[in-house]
Amino acid sequence: MQPADHPRIADARIGVLIVNLGSPDAPEASVVKRYLKEFLSDRRVVEIPALLWQPILRGIILNTRPAKSAALYASIWDRERGDSPLRVITGDQAGLLQAALPDVTVDFAMRYGNPSIPERLAALKAAGCTRILVMPLYPQYSAATTATVVDKVGAVLKDMRWQPALRVLPPYHDDPLYISALAQDARAEMAALDFTPDVVVASFHGMPERTLHLGDPYHCHAQKTARLLREALGVGEAGFRTAFQSRFGKAEWLKPYLDKTLQSLPGEGIRKVAVIAPGFSADCIETLEEIAIQGRETFFHAGGTHFAYLRCLNAGTAGMQMLSGLAARELAGWRESGH
Ligand SMILES: C=CC1=C(C)c2cc3[nH]c(cc4nc(cc5[nH]c(cc1n2)c(C)c5CCC(=O)O)C(CCC(=O)O)=C4C)c(C)c3C=C
Ligand SMILES: [Fe+2]
Ligand SMILES: [Fe+2]
């Protein structure tokens, strides 16, 4: 028997927390500034010593970029649901994953901004979750994305007396569930186009090139995803290109750059392209603005005639089958034990 003043112990449950990068709370400069300050102060994202970087960040970047970024966010904001596409889609993914796995408690968090990892981990704990599977929705591992999620979860657990047991979804860049979901979705989207692309361009978010030499597997993971996707689509090497987008700062980033690729294709006689972004689990500013708006303009300006952006897996059937398959596999042994 517990004494009457014993702290309440909830029934043990399993929690699943899906995590994506995060967005500002509103497409307004002051709000974007707060988000960028948190994001770009993460020392895994910008690997310049803080003494050098913080004056540049606070003195220059946070005085110039927020207004520009806010205008770009405004151009892609989901007006109907009053939120950023990334947060809307991640919330939908969590809802559908919950429906697919009714015996566990599913929630979602954003690495930067809201809903925060500390807030949602506290909620899972309050709901009685003694075992938590964290799913960073980055198929390709990078220190700037996957590792920062684990850092943050670790920082939260550091202050807990009674910590939940933890599992983390490994990178799934070459997982057959992921590759077949991408191929199935891309095939369906291309079948609905009114043209046949000469080339499919797979665009991945860039990383500073030095991270490759420092041992970050991101570049290799991206290349492997691209090759497996090309093979799954049954496209030859001539009909497929891989590129990296969203360069930030003055250093060299992984190449080839997406904008340069789109500029040069029409000169090679390639005037019809479909661009896919396999590294993004959900459409966001980097896909909806940088590819679907800017990329299209760049390509047409260079002489292209047909351009299609193929949406991310988002909360579609193929993507949700993949997510529930990955989650079920990572939860093996936990669910069966009656927790
Ligand atoms: C999918 C993988 C991603 C990697 C790798 C990545 C690395 C990385 N990003 C920046 C700088 C910025 N990224 C921004 C937005 C953004 N980045 C990702 C994903 C990856 N980033 C996503 C999903 C998003 C979209 C957020 C949204 O709300 O829609 C931004 C903010 C937007 C802007 O102001 O341009 C910045 C800045 C760096 C420096 C980096 C690697 C070191
Ligand atoms: Fe980014
Ligand atoms: Fe590589």
Ligand nearest to the CA of 204: 1
Residues 270-295: what's their mean pLDDT?
98
Task: Compute the mean pLDDT over every residue in the chain, rounded to the nearest whole number.
Answer: 96
- Binding site membership of 69 for ligand 1 (Cβ less than 6 Å): yes
* CATH topology for the 176-310 domain: Rossmann fold (3.40.50)
Instruction: Name the closest-CA residue to atom 18, ligand 1.
Output: 21
- Binding site membership of 23 for ligand 1 (Cβ less than 6 Å): yes
Domain 13-170+319-330 -> CATH class: alpha beta
Give, for ligand 1, the residue of 283, 285, 289, 314 to mutate: max count of ligand atoms closer than 8 Å to Cβ.
285
Question: What is the CA(335)–ligand 3 centre distance, in A?
Answer: 37
- Enumerate the CATH 3.40.50.1400 domain ranges in the chain, comma separated: 13-170+319-330, 176-310
Answer yes or no: is pLDDT of 100 > 90: yes
Closest CA to 87 of 27, 29, 134: 27
Q: How large is the ipTM?
A: 0.96
Question: What is the CA(45)–ligand 1 centre distance, in A?
Answer: 9
Helix H or strand E segment including 107: strand 105-110
pLDDT at 1: 64
Answer yes or no: is pLDDT of 174 > 80: yes
Give, for ligand 1, the residue of 28, 145, 246 to mutate: max count of ligand atoms closer than 8 Å to Cβ.
246
Count Cα neighbours of 151 within 13 Å in the Cβ-side half-sphere: 13
- Binding site membership of 286 for ligand 1 (Cβ less than 6 Å): yes
pLDDT at 11: 66
DSSP 237-288: GGGEEEEEE---SSS-BSSSBHHHHHHHTGGGT--EEEEE-TT-SS--IIII
